[in-house]
Amino acid sequence: MTDSFIIKVNQSEVRVTSETSVAAAMMMAGAHCRISVRGEHRAPLCGMGICMECRATVNGLKHQRTCQLLCAPAMEVVTE
């Protein structure tokens, strides 16, 4: 196991490694990724970059496919 570190998901902190995807971190933090057109909470579905349900704002960048993105120290992830 590689060294672990903390990232921030919305207002909570979650311990991850550099091999954890941001989508997995969001799920472990109990956060949903985006709010749909009609206001439903959505979380990862396909896990492989196709469904786009895991889009969230990462370090200020919007619409990031979090399942295709690895965690990095001091990362800040926000539901969109």
Binding site for another protein (CB under 8 A): 16-17, 19-21, 23-25, 27-28, 30, 32, 36-38, 40-53, 55, 63, 67-68, 70-71
- Smallest gap, in angstroms, from Cβ of residue 53 to another protein? 6
User: Which residue lies nearer to another protein by CB, 42 or 76?
Assistant: 42
Check residue 44 and report its DSSP letter: -
User: Which residue lies nearer to another protein by CB, 48 or 74?
Assistant: 48
Cα dihedral across residues 37, 38, 43, 45: positive or negative: negative
The Cα 46–Cα 59 span in angstroms is 23
